[in-house]
Structure formats: structure tokens, C-alpha cells
Amino acid sequence: MSRIAKAPITVPSGVEVKIDGQHVSIKGPKGALAMDAHRDAVVSIEDGTISVRPADDVDGGWAMAGTMSALVSNMVVGVSLGFQKKLELVGVGYRAQAKGKVLSLTLGFSHPVDYSVPEGISIETPSQTDVVVSGCDKQKVGQVAAEIRSFRPPEPYKGKGVRYEGERIIRKEAKKK
């Protein structure tokens, strides 16, 4: 039985929640998000708290209610505070530069890699080797960070590549003669 679904989600001030049947839309200072809740979960709002419970007599209803509760909670946090992922570029000559809605990466290839930033995501480059991906949709922020990392994932011999901040790369020993 899900304990996540039993905890109510408090709505901070400045966040507006609308529930129309199974459609949940949340609007806040960082943006607006909407989703359709699963048919096995019932989402309701009362007195500034959102509660999620399973539909009547459904197998696995509490599990789906827990999932929907986590998704709605992520939406509330996203529109009020936002999410961000930090990436580091490790390697000689590796650098990143944000130019409007395009992230230009120099990753040791014969050509620069240009990544067009999707709608709702902002990318900043505080230094040439740091990239900060931020937005209100947790899934989209993680997906964009994973796509940027996939251009040159860290390799195990020298540790060069694009990695998440604080990611530990398990190093391998080089070939011996």
C-alpha cells in the first residue's frame, strides 16, 4: 500500500490549481503544467491541499495513486521553485557556449555540436565547462540533460566527457605490456 499517496500535497501561495475531472492543471510563477491523471486514481483539492486516492475497488489502486501523487507533487514544486541539473565538461578543449536557443558544444569532434533547446527549458553556461539546465517540468529537464550528456558520455579510461555534477566515474586500468 502506498504511503506517498496518503500524504497531502500542500499548495504554496502564488500557485493556482484547477482540477476538471481527471485533468489537473497547475499554474505558478515559473510556468504552467497540465496532465491527465490515470483512471485508477482520483485527484481532489480542498483547503489548499491536494489529495490523491485510488478509485473504488481497483487492483493496484494504491500504487497508481502513489505515482499520481508524486507526479502532481513534482508539478507543484516545478511551477513554484523549478528544477535544475548541472553538467560538467571534462577534457582538454571541451567547452560549451549558450547562444540564445542553441547550445554550442566543442567536444573533441571535427565539428561543433549544436543542440537546439526545447520550449520551456533554459540553458545557462556560467563557465566554459559548466552547463545548467533548468525548467519547471522535471521530466523534460532530466531528458534534456541526458541528451546533452549522450553527445560524449564519460569514458572509463581518462574520465573525459560530459558528466552530471558530482557523478563518480569508475576508472579502468590501461592495458599493460
Class of domain 9-80: alpha beta
Residue 78 confidence (pLDDT): 95
Residue 1 confidence (pLDDT): 59
Residues present in the chain in total:
177
Residue 175 confidence (pLDDT): 84
Residue 58 confidence (pLDDT): 80
Residue 22 confidence (pLDDT): 92
**Fold of domain 83-164:** Outer Surface Protein A; domain 3 (3.90.930)
| Chain CA centroid to CA 147, Å | 12
Residue 85 confidence (pLDDT): 97
Q: Which residues, at least 6 apart from 100, have a Cβ–Cβ distance to it below 8 Å?
A: none
Residues of the chain with CATH 3.90.930.12: 9-80, 83-164
Question: Which positions of the chain have pLDDT values less than 50?
Answer: none
